[in-house]
Structure 1
Amino acid sequence: MTKFRELCGTLALLALLSAPWQAPAAEATAELRNAIAAQRALPRAPRLPRTAFLESRSLASVRLSPGGDYVAYLREQGESRSLFLLPTAGGKPRVLVARSQAEQLLWSRDGRWLFLRAPRSLDIVGADGRGGMRVPLGGSERRRVMKLDPSQPAAVLLRERVSTGNGERGRIVRMDAHGQRTLLREDARWIHDVALDARGRVVALARFEGDHDALHRVLPDGSLREVLHLEPTEKLDLLAAMPDGSLLMEGNPGSDAPGGNFRRVLRLAPDDTLQTIHEDPRHEADLDEIELDPRTQQPLVASHRSTVAATYGIGAAQATVSAIARKFPGRDIDVQVGDGPSARWLVAERASTLRDPRWWLYDPRNGDLRRVLDDPGIAAGMPKEAALARKVAIDYLASDGMRVRGFLLLPPGVDAARAPLVAHVHGGPINHFRAGYDGVAQFLANRGYVVFQSNFRGSNGHGRDYTFAAHGDYGNGRVQQDIVEGVRWLLAQGIGDAARVGIVGHSFGGYSTLLGLTFQPGLFKVGVAGSPPADLGHAMRWLVDAGDQGDLPDRSLKHMLATLSLDATDPATYARLHAQSPLANAALMHRPLLVMAGGADRTVAIREVTHYVATLKAAGRPVTFLVEPGGGHSPVAPVPREAYLFAMETMLQRHLGGPAPEPPGPRLRAYLRQNLRLAGPEFAAWARKPAPEE
């Protein structure tokens, strides 16, 4: 359920029109009609066990060496991971590190070292199996890995915060493969990113200026010259400093610049003029990933995944990337580039029906493809594609004429017109659903539900204008309307049974679930809300003041919310959000609701969730409450993750129909008995029996 991290964010909002609106009876697109017919004609998918959707992927990180001669990968091995090295010329992989907690690996530029980033440490390992050392992360210095140092043969950049007599200062430190440290920059302000020249000097940095971010050139004497002023929703990442003094970056700065609406690849010329190198040629999606030439640092491959996934070559790589894409029609590809005309490239084949990517080595000299990382141990447990639902990109017109984007998952072999329909709402809300695999949505589709995922206005991934199109109307207005109107549009197209419609989501998606049941009970018959804020104004104020985002030195959340007209420190905004909250309108709630939360959540305070559930209980409303003791914003351990899916399935099956859930095993039964704080009739069989004195 790693997708929770994408679906959950720092949260914010509420919304919905209480008066029902009927979407115009527009014809579905030909692609949608064809997709419905194609999925209906397929055999019914076998019912897969819940554990197949927990996204326990075998490979945590896969990276091609700069010379294209090795593929390094982290493979899950029980409670830890192992680091393997596979020669691309052929032969068997060998183990470099038998046990590691690393989540990400980086190659040194010279291809001789691997940097393994774990939550609390950085391990440095020789590609020949020799040497190695461990550097602690976190601690009193709050040390973090920033990125690979592109100016050195083998080094990374670290960001540190140190206490001084006058407060705190930030440091950017280079650490080479032997542990040698070099202080590159110290600053009283939070430095987001840096660019280094060929001699390893910091020549540009992005820094928080107290109420905005800014890009500065670093002059020879160390002083700064601001060259770009960034609004709170404008972001950039520095990619490289070129010999001519230009800077390569990705981001969406400069709303007045050509293509400024979308996240794109940019060049800041020596005269500080901003030029677009690449943006989505369809003008639909933000840049998702960028691949650089390992030697020159020039951008070569760009991927966009907010709508139909597409990958493009840049400059000299255009022909090669196009040739690769033709070999994978209808697929999402990710390309890693080897240095030199004879170096192999690494291609990841992805799709909404592939839980794990398929990995291929591509020879640009002759176009040959060779499958790698496909041994039974790696591929074990991955659901067959025929059992999963195709994710179809859709768009529809909202009642104010704006085109809203999203996705639809259609269960194979199911008549979409007679199937229950579930609106699956993403977290954030400054987040978005992508075109790839989604474990929760595929789980629901495998149980026979048509799943609708709206990238409502206010979502990112579709350009800054799309994000700002909400105009702060996260109360009883436009954002929730986009979700509601999308459901009604699908019903008007003959997709979904209008008598069996539910809504589910986590974080902001959970908040949207509460709104849907509160203000649209005629449409939504049941809801499942994970870690939902019940009063958005209070939740945002708490998050800024006391939550995980409250102690960040850039304080970016506070300024972001103000830009989105969601500043909960403003009394009028706070009052508006409170008045429109599910908590203030709890008397309107009468649909069955399942709420799940973590006892140590630092994004949505557990006491806020508990207070809302207690309010519903006192009013005699149908509610079930499942709490993971010590759990964070999203479940991580296997049993709590399975409990999340089981509880969701149980709730939806009872009220929307579908197959009865697979009975829980002993560990899951014990978990439910212990942690169902409040059990509705749907969960009576799994709740703890009260003691006589209770």
Structure 2
Amino acid sequence: MSFPKLLAALACALSLWVAMPSHADDAGGLRAAIGVERARAPAPHYPRAAFEPSRALQSVRLSPDGRHVAYLRQRGDQRSVWLLPTAGGVARQLLARTEADELLWSRDGRWLFVKARRSLLSLSIEGGSGVRITLDNPRAVIRVDPSQPAAVVLRERVRTSTGERWPVVRRDAHGRRTLLRDDDRFVHDVALDAQGKLVALLRFDGDHDALYRVDAAGGLRELARWNVIREQATLLAATPQGDLFLDGDTGGNFRRVLRVDRDGVLHTVHADPRGEADLDQVVLDPATQLPAVVSYRSTVAATYGLGAAQAQVAAIGKRFPGRDIGIGIGDGPDAYWLVSERASTLRDARWHLYDPRSGRIRRILEQDAEAAQPLPEAALARKLPFAYRASDGMLVRGFLLLPPGKDPARVPLVAFVHGGPINHFRADDYEGIAQLLANRGYAVFESNFRGSTGHGRDYALAPHGDYGNGRVQQDIVEGTRWLLAHGVGDPQRVGITGHSFGGYSTLLGVTFQPELFKVGVAGAPPADFGWSMRWLHEFGNQGARPDRSLAASMRLLGLDVDDPASYAHLRAQSPLANAGKLRRPLLLLAGGEDRTVPIREVISYAAVLRHLGKDVSLYVEADGGHSPSEPLPREAYVYLMETMLHRYLGGARPDAPSPKLRDYLKPSLRVVSNDVDFLPKR
């Protein structure tokens, strides 16, 4: 069967699947999709580096007038700023070197704000000089000012003898500073009118968030308040009539587009038509500053237009069936729109220009993307969504990736657990590790266990603090068993892996479910989740969050580490307290400068296991953070994972490490199991 026919067959299977009632699990739909995957041609073996996201193009942004596309281009270690005219012609370089990770357009389309972690540079697209603004906190940039030709709204942090204050200021492209508000509370977001006056703000008020209208004298009138995590909102825009638009879940279960009228009454503007996903992204019309495009990304990715944009967005969607599309709108009837195309089988996004007048679509930036040598989609695993019933009756979501052309009952199965736990796997996200494992012959199970985001507030809060060897872990275990019962995976060759919270789940799996999981690979794993959460709050990189919301968030998740009973429960069920029960081989991967999970916790756990005579290996990236960020440490991470899984589950043998990788690994492997040869002789 040809690749286009296979795509059509898969689309048909998925369309039938999506139509299934939400009260049933997805055994039938999964069976149909598996049949399509099994009929595909087997994929060639690709080198590890081929699965590495290229980062060749980053922060691709359309100007408000639709005349230019700006982007960050990465070549080796050098990142630069480029500008492409949408009417045609070649791109030109605006800035040869930058450490920025985000580009923001001014309202007039004549300036770019180039944002790095601690600085903001204004850059004229016509070649004029701008200014560099030092940012005194990582969350300093609130938004581009929609009321001014070229300005941004910033949040400053001022420490005083009695605490700290949070001035909200405007900085224009030439550096001029205008104070908009001086507040003693952390201001999350603001809305401005056409004259640049502050008309609304959202701030953290001790133990909750609150939305206020701001009068001409700076006085505040509270419109709504909500608990952190339990309800969330972001200000989108203010209309001349005094309405406020929000992205939030207040007053309901799912995040959606909301409108608050002048009387403070809340109205839903748009919610997921399928009734299962949180709002993921909102795009504002550059002319009206009102919501124009909305996207939902959980079980499936779907994008819709609002108002005048509805027909155009629908037309674009028909051109990219089965894809996750993002849309940037240009202002004016002759302005181009920017379309991003993503899929779980696309390592790097594809970029297109859409002409609303003719309906024509033209691909752009293709040469930059192709320079990174993307893998052919025909060789990559499709991400198959499904749902399964947990033992308590709750419907749990997940995804399955299968090696093309293989009998799914005869391949090893790996449970791949996401971090967070406030996070989730998305339908059309490309995940390099999952794709590499599928290429090596593994079936990969991704569980969006209860506690995951993207499926509404009730789903995210469903664990009620049971993050030990309890309900959350059961969702992962039961999903793995559900797949085995439906003919996916060899029951004698099942492993578990993950990073951060996923690493913690891995430790739980090999400790408490050794009859199921035969091996574990855990990245940056907390060995005692309660202790780790307390440390993170008091000393870690999130403990100093200026809105002081981390403790409140943890309490709402049932993780109140100041509560003796909650702390004792997590402690009693921790992998550290139950280290003596570990009976399966385990590989630990960690960063020496991790400020989320301290390295001492991982090393201490490894030492306890070694003292007990357990089969454990430990790799430490000496100067690494919470996750490996550079190419060589990332390759080391996946090579060690490949080696461990090959040894105990029988997947494809990993490619031998290069001399450079061998030299890097030698001092980084602190503890090595006698049964695993991580550095085979050449």
TM above 0.5: yes
AA of the residue aligned to 1:195? A
Please say if residues 429 and 508 of structure 1, whose CA atoms lie closer than 8 Å, have aligned partners that are also in contact. yes
3-state SS of the aligned residue for 1:417?
Answer: helix
In 2, Cα distance between equivalents of 1:142 and 1:311: 30
Alignment-derived partner of residue 70 in structure 1: 68
> Which residue of the other structure, out of 239, 250, 258, is the alignment partner of 2:236?
239
Aligned to 1:91: 89
CA shift in 2, pair 1:377/1:460, >3 Å: closer
Aligned to 1:518: 511
CA distance in 1, matches of 2:360, 2:336: 10
Whether the aligned pair in 1 keeps the contact of 2:26 and 2:387 (CA below 8 Å) is no
Question: Are the aligned partners of 1:679 and 1:687 in contact in 2 as well (CA < 8 Å)?
Answer: no
Q: Which amino acid aligns with 1:243?
A: P
2:52/2:432 contact within 8 Å kept: yes
User: Per the alignment, in what secondary structure is the counterpart of residue 347 of structure 2?
Assistant: coil
**1:236, CA displacement in angstroms?**
1.1
Residue of structure 1 equivalent to 2:445: 452
Aligned to 1:636: 629
Rounded to whole Å, the distance in 2 between the matches of 1:93 and 1:199 is: 35
Instruction: Supply the distance in 1 between the matched residues of 2:368 and 2:468 (Cα, whole angstroms).
Output: 50
Q: Residue 249 in 1 paired to residue 241 in 2?
A: no
Deviations 1:457-491 (A, max 9, x none): 11111000111221222233211111111001101
Correspondence 1:141-156 to 2 at 5 A: 144-156=140-152
The residue that corresponds to 2:259 in the other structure is 267
Q: What is the TM-score with the length of structure 2 in the denominator?
A: 0.94
Q: Find the partner of 1:663 among 656, 662, 666.
A: 656
Quick one: structure 1 residues 390 and 443, their matched pair in 2 at CA, closer, same or farther if it must change by over 3 Å? same
Q: Quote the Cα distance in structure 2 between the aligned partners of 1:410 and 1:308.
A: 18
- Give 1:308's aligned residue: 300
Alignment map for 1:211-360 (pairs within 5 Å)? 211-233=207-229, 234-254=231-251, 260-360=252-352
**Partners of 1:58 and 1:378 within 8 A in 2:** no
SS in 2 for 1:294: coil
Q: Deviations over 1:193-233 (max 9, x none)?
A: 11111111111111111111111111222121211111121
Instruction: Say which SS state the counterpart of residue 111 (structure 1) adopts.
Output: coil
Give me the whole-angstrom Cα distance separating, in 2, the residues matched to 1:687 and 1:195: 60
Structure 1 equivalent of residue 372 of structure 2: 380
- Counterpart residue number, 1:600: 593
Aligned to 2:399: 407
Q: In terms of mean alpha carbon deviation, does 367-376 or 278-287 score higher?
A: 367-376
Partner of 1:159: 155
Q: Does 1:678 align with 2:671?
A: yes
CA, structure 1 residues 40+101, in 2 after alignment: closer, same or farther (shift >3 Å)? same
1:687 positional shift: 9.5
Cα offset, 1:379, TM superposition:
4.2
Cα deviation, 1:138-179, whole Å, max 9, x if unaligned, reads: 3xx677222211111110111111122222111111110111
Any idea what the Cα deviations from partners look like across 1:75-119, whole Å, max 9, x if unmatched?
102212121111111111111112111111011110110111112
Secondary structure of the 1:157 match is strand
Which residue identity does 2:245 align to in structure 1? L
Offset, 1:682: 4.7
Query: Identity over aligned residues, as a percent?
Result: 63
Aligned-residue offset at 1:677: 0.7
One-letter code of the match for 1:57? R
**TM-score, normalised with respect to structure 1:** 0.93
Equivalent residues in 2 for 1:82-161, closer than 5 Å: 82-138=80-136, 144-161=140-157
SS at match of 2:433: helix
Q: How many residues align?
A: 656
CA distance in 2, matches of 1:684, 1:490: 31
Write the distance in 1 (CA, Å) between the matches of 2:314 and 2:198. 36
CA contact (8 A) 2:190 2:202 kept: yes
Structure 2 residue aligned with 1:179:
175
One of 198, 218, 240 as aligned partner of 2:194: 198
User: How far, CA to CA, are the matches of 1:277 and 1:486 in structure 2?
Assistant: 35
**Local SS of the residue matching 1:92:** coil
Shift of 1:33: 1.9
Identify the residue that residue 648 of structure 1 maps to in structure 2: 641
Distance 1:667 1:151 in 2: 53
Question: What is the rounded CA distance, in whole Å, between the counterparts of 2:25 and 2:85 in structure 1?
Answer: 53
Aligned partners of 1:685 and 1:273: how far apart in 2?
62
SS of equivalent residue, structure 1 residue 341: coil
Note the residue ranges of structure 2 that are not aligned, 5 or more in a row: 1-23
Measure how far apart 1:507 and its partner are. Answer: 0.5
Q: Which amino acid aligns with 2:216?
A: P
Q: Which residue of 2 aligns with 1:558?
A: 551
Deviations 1:539-559 (A, max 9, x none): 111111111122123221100
State how far apart, in whole Å, the 2-side matches of 1:359 and 1:376 are: 11
Distance 1:380 1:490, change over 3 A: same
| Structure 2 counterpart SS, 1:282 | coil
Residue 376 to residue 245, structure 1, CA distance change in 2 (3 Å):
closer
Q: 1:41 Cα shift?
A: 1.3
Secondary structure, in 3 states, of the residue corresponding to 2:542?
A: helix
1:499 aligns to what SS in structure 2? coil
Could you list the structure 1 runs, at least 4 aligned residues long, displaced by more than 6 angstroms after superposition. none
Quote the offset at 1:183 in angstroms: 1.1
1:54 Cα shift? 2.2
Report deviation, 1:372: 0.8
What's the counterpart of residue 207 of structure 1?
A: 203
Confirm or deny: 8 A CA contact 1:27 1:493 kept in the other structure. Answer: no
Pairing 1:532–2:532 present: no
Match of 1:496 in 2: 489
In the other structure, the counterpart of 1:481 is 474
SS in structure 2 at match of 1:664: coil
Query: Offset of 1:297 from its aligned partner?
Result: 0.6
1:34 pairs with 2:50: no
- List per-residue Cα deviations over 1:384-433 (Å, max 9, x = no partner): 11121000111111111111001111111111111110000001111111
CA contact (8 A) 1:625 1:678 kept: yes
1:376 Cα deviation after fit: 5.6
Higher relative contact order (CA 8 A, sep 6+): 1
Change beyond 3 A, Cα 1:623–1:374: same
Task: Check the 8 A contact 1:543/1:550 in 2, yes or no.
Answer: yes
Matched residue type, 1:181: R
Separation of aligned partners in 2, 1:619 and 1:501: 24
Structure 1 residue 189 displacement after superposition:
1.0
Once the two structures are TM-superposed, the CA of residue 135 in structure 1 deviates from its matched residue by 1.7
- When residues 263 and 681 of structure 1 are mapped into structure 2, their CA distance, relative to the original with a 3 A threshold, is same
Q: Which digits, 9 at most, give the CA deviation of each residue in 1:40-62, with x for residues without a partner?
A: 11111111111122212210110
Match of 2:460 among 439, 457, 467: 467
User: Is 1:543 aligned with 2:536?
Assistant: yes
Counterpart of 2:131 in structure 1: which amino acid?
Answer: M
Q: Work out whether residues 470 and 478 of structure 1, in 8 Å CA contact, stay in contact via their aligned partners in 2.
A: yes
Match status 1:55 vs 2:53:
yes
| SS of residue paired to 2:465 | coil
Secondary structure in structure 2 of the residue aligned to 1:567: coil
3-state SS of paired residue (1:680): coil
In the aligned structure 2, how far is the partner of 1:573 from the partner of 1:31? 40
Partner amino acid for 1:327?
R
* Shift of residue 73, structure 1, vs aligned partner: 1.1
- Say which SS state the counterpart of residue 607 (structure 1) adopts: helix
| Cα distance per residue 1:419-449 (max 9 Å; x no partner) | 1100000011111111121111111111111
* TM-fit CA distance, 1:588: 0.5
Corresponding residue SS for 1:561 = helix
Unaligned runs of 5+ in 1: 1-25, 255-259, 689-694
SS in 1 for 2:73: strand
Shift of 1:684: 4.2
